[in-house]
Amino acid sequence: MHSQVIDEEVDIAASPVAVWRALTDPDITQTYWGGTRIESDWLPGSMVIYRRDGKITDEHLLKELVPQRLIEHTFRPTFGPFATEPPSLLTLLLSPTDRGTRLHVLHRGFPPASKVYAACKEGWPGILAGLKQRLEV
């Protein structure tokens, strides 16, 4: 049973185009994601690689993509105690608002007693706060 779900939202005073770029440009992701470059050609079926200090830390499979609207990929860290867990599923949904963009993060499909869930539950709020701060300068 996969009952653990991370469900976070953040309102960002920036356009969906700007938020999308911040989510998909590795030069920007490393500024708010703890030095992690998120790299992909952003085509469904492609890999989404997370790289920190030149080392691959995560390998994800891009399942669905709608530019400036939706990114959905598996989520599978490849290091330390996380490497033995099966992939979870990450959905990032962008919605325009009167003041910018609402980013909804839905991260689900964790196994029971998941170490990845525990780390992500703690990590997502800081990542989203960093993204918001980066875009609202």
Domains and CATH numbers, the chain: 5-135 (3.30.530.20)
pLDDT of residue 137: 77
Cα–chain-centroid distance for residue 54? Answer: 19
Q: Looking at residue 2, what is its pLDDT?
A: 52
Beta strands in the chain (DSSP E): 5-12, 36-39, 47-52, 55-66, 70-75, 88-97, 100-108
pLDDT at 1 over 80: no
What's the CA gap between 63 and 22, in Å, rounded? 19
Structure confidence at residue 3 (pLDDT): 67
Per-residue pLDDT, 68:
96
Rounded percentage of the chain residues whose pLDDT exceeds 70? 98
Query: Is residue 14 scored above 50 in pLDDT?
Result: yes
